[in-house]
Structure 1
Amino acid sequence: MLQFSPSFLQIGSTVGLLVIAITAILVRSRTNHRPVNAKKILIPPMGMSTGFLMFVVADFRVSWMWALGAFLAGWFIFSYPLIRGTRFERSGTDIVVQRSKSFLFILIGLLMIRLLLHRFIEQYISIPQTAGVFFILAFGTLLHWRISMYRQYRKMTSDPDISLSHPSTK
């Protein structure tokens, strides 16, 4: 099996993370004001769930406590700014995601926190395990955010007179 030095893995994972983050920011900024539907909201977590196949490889496996902690941190902490920053509005007969001025700053802030946590956590577990933990954290974040978006979307589609300007409106 091919072996890489830990410093090479660290640099590679950081560069990879930055490329993915910049790509996500660019894609996200271009998709605002395009009509959304249930499929467009729910497919990303389903697609991302295939990443759990990484845990077939023993090097990526972590304890249930690490996995649960990562998922709950993503669900309760990291998803919160995304949920608060995502709003829907009507555009004619379509429902679109309203452009949030803070969304770019939220993504950059979450990226910075993730980079800082990465340095801390990799002191306790291996680099592949750190990747697994952060995948679970990202999945918890995305899943909670998309479920919240879906609930907002369903409210708007069930009553055409409702115009949700904020996710906390219930």
Structure 2
Amino acid sequence: MSETTVLFLLTTVGAAMMGTLAVIVRMKAIKKPASVKKIIIPPLMMSTGFLMFLYEPTHLPPERIVAPLIVGAAASYLLIRTSRFEIHNGDIYMKRSKLFIFLLFGLIAARVIIKLIIGEQIQLPQLAGMFFLLAYGMIIPWRIAMLLMFKKAEQQIERPAWSSPLKERT
């Protein structure tokens, strides 16, 4: 096996393991109340990944920048549709969704398949940059939508008791 093939396989397995770890972390995070900070910090921390583009082998032509951003934004639609908040005891939680779990694993599988298809045609550093852009293009719209949904749920909690219709007591 050539050095390139071994590196390709290691990065593919590594990406699949990181994706699985991300799903596990998301499932644990759902058990704790959400907050604005928990919604905003991941994309901010992830933005440090743009530093990889200071390394010349990761430089991309414009079409290899735009395409992953568009695909990421399209994939974010599915994440947005499967993300909901619910209120329990005055706290806001992300609602568990089986579809959300399957979607995350589906995205991991799609990433591996895409890498297997185009990985031989694009240099590994550029491919890494493209997958980073795809992930960033997905997380930004998703987190913006989550923030808006969270703020809406927060308004429901903060609404004074007299502003909601009276409910029959049982």
Per the alignment, residue 16 of structure 1 pairs with: 14
Structure number with bigger Rg: 2
CA distance in 2, matches of 1:46, 1:64: 23
In the superposition, the TM-score normalised over structure 2's length comes to 0.87
Structure 2 unaligned segments of length 5 or more: list them: 160-170
CA contact (8 A) 2:76 2:138 kept: yes
Contact 1:33 1:98 in 2 (8 A): no
Q: Distance in 1 between matches of 2:65 and 2:119?
A: 14
Structure 1 equivalent of residue 41 of structure 2: 43
Match for 1:128: what amino acid? P
Checking the alignment, whether the CA contact within 8 Å between 2:19 and 2:108 is kept in structure 1 is yes
Q: Quick check: 1:75–1:141 contact (8 Å CA) kept in 2? A: yes
**1:54 lines up with 2:52 in the alignment:** yes
Displacement after TM superposition at 1:42 (Å): 0.6
Q: Distance in 1 between matches of 2:29 and 2:104?
A: 15
Question: Which one has a larger percent helix, Structure 1 or Structure 2?
Answer: 2
Task: Give the whole-Å Cα distance in 1 for the aligned partners of 2:119 and 2:21.
Answer: 25
> In the alignment, residue 46 of structure 2 is paired with which amino acid?
M
The equivalent residue for 1:117 is: 114
Q: Pick which of 30-39 and 87-96 moved more.
A: 30-39
Partner of 2:162: none
What CA RMSD, in Å, does the superposition of the two structures yield over aligned residues?
Answer: 1.4
2-structure distance, mates of 1:88, 1:150: 10
Task: Give the Cα separation in 1 of the matches to 2:87 and 2:156.
Answer: 12
Matching residue within 135, 138, 141 for 1:141: 138
Q: Secondary structure at the match of 1:95?
A: strand
Q: Which position in structure 2 is the counterpart of 1:63? A: 61
Q: Distance in 1 between matches of 2:96 and 2:102?
A: 13
Q: Letter of the 1:132 partner, please give it.
A: G
Q: For the Cα contact (< 8 Å) 1:32–1:99, is it kept in 2? A: yes
1:93 deviates by 1.1
Q: SS of the counterpart of 1:125?
A: coil
In structure 2, which of residues 84, 88, 104 is the aligned counterpart of residue 87 of structure 1?
A: 84
Which residue is 1:25 aligned to?
Answer: 23
Equivalent pair of 1:83/1:148 in contact (CA under 8 Å): yes
1:100 aligns with 2:100: no
Match runs of 1:151-170 below 5 Å: 151-160=148-157
Q: 1:35 touches 1:97 (CA, 8 Å); kept in 2? A: yes
Runs of 4+ in 1 over 4 A off after TM superposition: none
Q: Take 2:94 and 2:15, find their aligned partners in 1: how far apart are those partners?
A: 25
Offset from partner CA, 1:36-74 (integer Å, 9 cap, x none): 111100100000000010111011111122111111110
Q: Which runs of 5+ in 1 are unaligned?
A: 162-170
